[in-house]
Amino acid sequence: MSGKAKEKDSYLHKGMRRKLVETVRAKGITDERVLDALMKVPRHLFMDEAFLKYAYEDTAFQIGEGQTISQPYTVAYMTQLLEPEPGDKVLEIGTGSGYQACVLAQLVDKVYTIERHKKLFERATRMMKELGCRNVRTFYGDGYKGIPAFAPYDKIIVTAAAPEVPKALIEQLKPGGLMVIPYGEGETQVMLRIRKAEDGSLKMEKFDYFRFVPMLKGKVD
Ligand code: SAH
């Protein structure tokens, strides 16, 4: 984290964050690197200051434009499924607050993240600068199309409920790569992990159920 962010991250915040990490661990997250990354990223800075007391509870929270910052447990769960490696290039669909992108950025080489809401994109872009998350690049656009200019990606993470697995994302996934995507249109979505073999064939695994805001087409000014 850089200077400006450090000033806004007190011992009080760190103490609250340590408790949150223990809560997430108790719920079954075992990858120590993921738990470390959660400890490093000051989640309260991704939310309105008025809501500080919710920043270190294990819940999703409103961030404006009808969108939410994901629950820390969910962020940790998806990050663990993604099997992040230090050399990875990762694509995230649904920047939202930027929190998930910043957590991933602690574990991989480079994160490309795309958001369809202009206001959220602008805010997250500022946040990354303020926090010194230099290995995150933010984009404004429709995540159904991915970001072809920087493809292929070692890993792809979708943080909105996908009614289908977008074809463009499968194409932009490297052979040998992994995609984690909450799939389904109903109240809840099943977490899917898709592995693309070297020959391009796909293998799918199903995990737990979660509740996400929908992945929608097009962008919003
Ligand atoms: N990863 C975020 C969670 C955000 S919630 C965080 O850590 O805070 C999901 C986000 O996906 C919302 O901001 C929503 O606007 C965005 N989204 C939904 N459909 C999208 C699409 N097609 N392309 C890009 N972003 C999309």
Domain of 199, CATH number, reads 3.40.50.150
- Give the mean pLDDT of 83-94: 98
**Side-by-side strand order, sheet with 189-196:** 136-140, 110-115, 89-93, 153-158, 173-183, 189-196, 202-210
Q: Would the pTM of this model clear 0.85, i.e. be above it?
A: yes
Candidates 142, 201, 195; CA nearest to 166 is 142
Contacts of 34 (CB under 8 A, 6+ apart): 76, 79, 80, 84, 103, 107
71 falls within a domain: yes
Indicate whether residue 114 lines ligand 1 (CB < 6 A).
yes
Task: Give the active site residues.
Answer: 70
Indicate whether residue 102 lines ligand 1 (CB < 6 A).
no
221 falls within a domain: no
- Give the mean pLDDT of 122-136: 94
pLDDT of amino acid 176: 97
pLDDT of amino acid 50: 86
pLDDT of amino acid 79: 98
- Give the mean pLDDT of 15-19: 96
- The per-residue pLDDT of the chain, averaged, comes to 95
79 falls within a domain: yes
| CA-proximal residue: ligand 1, atom 21 (nearest) | 143
136 falls within a domain: yes
For residue 144, pLDDT over 80 is answered with yes
Indicate whether residue 213 lines ligand 1 (CB < 6 A).
yes
> How many structural domains does the chain have?
1
219 falls within a domain: no
Q: How many angstroms does the Cα of residue 7 sit away from the middle of ligand 1? A: 28
220 falls within a domain: no
pLDDT of amino acid 52: 86
50 falls within a domain: yes
Indicate whether residue 135 lines ligand 1 (CB < 6 A).
no
Q: How confident is the model at residue 60 (pLDDT cuts 50, 70, 90)?
A: very high
- Quick check: 89 and 96 in contact, CB under 8 A? no
Where in the sequence is the domain holding 129, given as residue range(s)? Answer: 3-210
Q: What is the DSSP string of 31-56?
A: -HHHHHHHHHS-GGGGS-GGGHHHHT
For residue 179, pLDDT over 90 is answered with yes
User: Ligand 1 pocket: which of 54, 92, 138, 213 to mutate (most atoms <8 Å of CB)?
Assistant: 213
Here the tokens at position 44 are 């309260």
